[in-house]
Amino acid sequence: MYRIGVDLGGTNIATGVIDENYKIIGRGKVKTRAPRPAEEIFDSIKEAVDMAVADSGISYDEIISVGIGTPGSVNKDTGAIEFSNNLKFHNVPAKQMLEERLNKPVYLENDANAAALGEAVAGCGNGVKNFVAITLGTGVGSGIIIDGKIYRGSNFCGGEMGHMVINVDGIPCNCGRKGCWEKYASATALVSQAVEAMEGNRDSLLWKTCEGDLNKVDGKSIFDALDMGDAVAKAVVDKYLYYVAIGLANVINALQPEAVCIGGGISGQGEKILKPIREIVKAERYSVYADKQASILPAELGNDAGIIGAALLDE
């Protein structure tokens, strides 16, 4: 039997049919075109699901469930998407509405939690029971797996590691606090840190890799300058990785997982960023004398983590 995973994003709805080996055998994709009414977005989910089933070559009768990872908070008791800023949803009875359209059991989960489950089971976690996934993107996304289950907290909003403060009275965050980890460790933060450094260093190769346009500064241009031996880029990256590592040390000290996964486009830099991060975490961790230490690993599933994790939902 097969399961379907849906990654409901603010830009695209991506779907996949998953086999028993956690492989995607059929795919579908449509534009989300958010914000628009939930009824219309859920109709588009049905369209993308049908596309994936057709692409897989199996019959719809062979599908046993549909799992959906969505931005925002999901009330597992009621099946409602309580709030999603990206989709402009507020207390939408998503489970009921989607089961009416799909005629299959539907399971909903926050998208970061779904991606964490995918990596824990079918990706770099390789089936570990205690696992944390961190995604360095526009913000810092995170998902926590404890004893093989997603940790949601008492109000289904648990696991927001990006909003722990690492610098008291630091940079204001969109959440209303100051000094949140994501204001220092997200890919957005890296770009901001690079732009600030460039404005005081006109001779930096960062100006060359972004073609002299600050609007073109991104992770690639920063690491390209680093690879070219630029001292300013090195200082920016070193400081950024320190911020990433300090937050990771906090996560590890609090939860002591078997593994922590680092995802997002920056994770593609591999050992170039993971080695210094591990060294800083080693110096900062509380569990200095423990026989078991958390592994810090690069994500393996990329954009498929959300689809695979959503397909694995069963509660």
Q: What is the pLDDT of residue 228?
A: 97
In SS3 terms, the chain reads as CEEEEEEECCCEEEEEEECCCCCEEEEEEEECCCCCCHHHHHHHHHHHHHHHHHHHCCCHHHEEEEEEEECCEEECCCCEEEEECCCCEEEECHHHHHHHHHCCCEEEEEHHHHHHHHHHHHCCCCCCCCEEEEEECCCEEEEEEECCEECCCCCCCCCCHHHCECCCCCCECCCCCECECHHHHCHHHHHHHHHHHHHCCCCCCHHHHCCCCHHHCCHHHHHHHHHCCCHHHHHHHHHHHHHHHHHHHHHHHHHCCCEEEEECHHHHHCHHHHHHHHHHHHHHCCCCCCCCCCEEEECCCCCHHHHHHHHCCCC
Domain range summary for the chain, segments of one domain joined by +: 2-121+304-311, 126-298
Q: What is the pLDDT of residue 138?
A: 85
Does the model's pTM come out above 0.75? yes
- Sorted by sequence, the CB contacts under 8 Å of residue 280 that are 6+ apart come out as 241, 242, 245, 246, 249
Q: What is the pLDDT of residue 265?
A: 86
Which one of 3.40.50.620, 3.40.50.300, 2.60.120.650, 3.30.420.40 gives the CATH number of domain 2-121+304-311? 3.30.420.40
Q: What is the pLDDT of residue 274?
A: 97
State which residues of the chain have pLDDT below 50: none
Q: What is the pLDDT of residue 246?
A: 97
Whether the Cβ atoms of residue 2 and residue 19 lie closer than 8 Å to each other? yes
Half-sphere exposure of 54 (CA within 13 A, CB side): 8
> What does the pLDDT look like over 31-46, one tens digit per residue?
999 999 999 999 999 9
Which one of 3.30.420.40, 3.30.450.40, 3.90.79.10, 2.40.110.10 gives the CATH number of domain 126-298? 3.30.420.40
Q: What is the pLDDT of residue 78?
A: 94
Q: What is the pLDDT of residue 86?
A: 80
2-121+304-311 and 126-298 agree in CATH topology: yes
Q: What is the pLDDT of residue 177?
A: 94
Q: What is the pLDDT of residue 10?
A: 85
Two tokens, residue 155: 């109000």
